[in-house]
Amino acid sequence: MGVEMSKFKKGLAIGLGAGVALTMALLDIWGRQLRREIYTLAQPAVLRPLSSVLERSAASASHLPSPWTPEATGTAHESWKIRTLDGNPVRLADFKGRVLFLDLWSTTCVPCIAQMPSIERLRDSLPAAQVTFLAVTTDEEQQVRKFLKEVHVSLPVYLAQSPPPPALQTSGWPTVFVFNRNGAAIFREVGGANWDDDAARGFLLSLADH
């Protein structure tokens, strides 16, 4: 009888302990749900449908790269000297007054080569008097000439006579800069892209009209 009573008390204690733990877990879940509802109700009505999306994206948002925004550019990049394959020196300042599409590329960069045909089609679809296209590389002249013998490129290729100025430095190739008619860099795209696109055409034409 004493043994059975001891087992009963032990089982009762275990059952009560499990019950208390379950109750505490349920209360914790209910509390978190209540706090979430209070937070949602406190937001403007227009944000409530987005609350679940915002919660999911908040954790990963800090890992996204910072967007590049236009900066006030002075004269440093305007004095950057490049030259044609014939040896004629040019400065970026020489292109002020027209929209400039500047493609920084390398002969060893596969995405650079892949996007060139689309840049050529974009150029051919625009009035030549309004937008100037330059393909500038920091590669050695001999390497560039060898490349151009093997790969047909109709874009005007220029050789950089010095590294790009700080305002035009980039983390990778290819990089496209677009300058407005005042010579300010207002757009940058790093990585290969399909430039034979109506949005790109419209963007460049809108700059040419201002």
In a domain, 111, yes or no: yes
HSE (side-chain half, CA atoms, 13 Å) at 37: 6
pLDDT at 144: 97
- How far apart are the C-alpha atoms of 196 and 191, rounded to whole Å? 15
| Residues 164 and 119 placed together within one structural domain of the fold | yes
The residues pairing with 109 across neighbouring beta strands, listed in sequence order, are none
pTM for this prediction: 0.66
User: Between the ranges 14-18, 77-81, 90-94, 163-167, where is the mean pLDDT highest?
Assistant: 90-94
Please check whether residues 105 and 38 belong to one and the same domain. no
Instruction: For residue 56, give the 3-state DSSP assignment.
Output: helix
Q: With a cut of 50, say whether residue 152 has pLDDT above it.
A: yes
Residues 53 and 98 in one domain: no
Residue 37 sits in the same domain as residue 97: no
Residue 85: CATH number of its domain = 3.40.30.10
Residue 121 structure tokens: 């089609």
Instruction: Give the whole-number percent of the chain exceeding pLDDT 90.
Output: 48
Residue 169: pLDDT above 50?
yes
The number of distinct structural domains making up the chain is 2
- The b/e string for 157-179 (b: 16+ C-beta within 10 A; e otherwise) is bbbbeeebbebbeeeebbbbbbb
Containing domain of residue 34, as a range?
Answer: 2-57
Tell whether the model's pLDDT for residue 51 goes beyond 50.
no
Asked, for residue 75, whether it belongs to a domain, the answer is no
Q: Is the peptide bond before 174 cis (omega within 30 degrees of 0)?
A: yes
- Tell whether 102 and 152 lie within a shared domain: yes
Q: Would 130 be classed as within a structural domain?
A: yes
Q: Examine residue 62 and state whether it is found in any structural domain, yes or no.
A: no
Please indicate, yes or no, whether residues 112 and 201 belong to a single structural domain of this protein: yes
Does some domain include residue 69?
no
185/136 same-domain check = yes
Same structural domain, 98 and 177: yes
Note whether 50 and 101 are same-domain residues: no
Domain shared by 110 and 41, yes or no: no
Indicate if the pLDDT at residue 36 is higher than 60. Answer: no
More confident position, 31 or 185: 185
Any domain includes 8: yes
Contact indicator for 77, 167 with CB cutoff of 8 Å:
yes
Q: Is the pLDDT reported for residue 41 higher than 60?
A: no
Which is more confident, 96 or 58? 96
Judge if 104 and 173 occupy the same domain. Answer: yes
**b/e 82-95 (16+ beta carbons within 10 angstroms → b):** beeeeeeebebeeb
**Pairing of the two strands 157-160 and 131-137:** parallel
- Indicate whether 26 and 130 sit together in one domain: no
Sign of the CA dihedral running 134, 140, 146, 150: negative
Here the tokens at position 38 are 């209070």
Do 102 and 179 meet the contact criterion of CB atoms below 8 Å apart?
yes
Tell which residue, 100, 191, 101, 105, has the closest CA to residue 148: 105
Please give the pLDDT value at position 73.
Answer: 52
Of the given ranges (17-31, 52-66, 144-158), which has the lowest mean pLDDT?
Answer: 52-66
Per residue in 90-124, pLDDT tens? Answer: 999 999 999 999 999 999 999 999 999 999 999 99
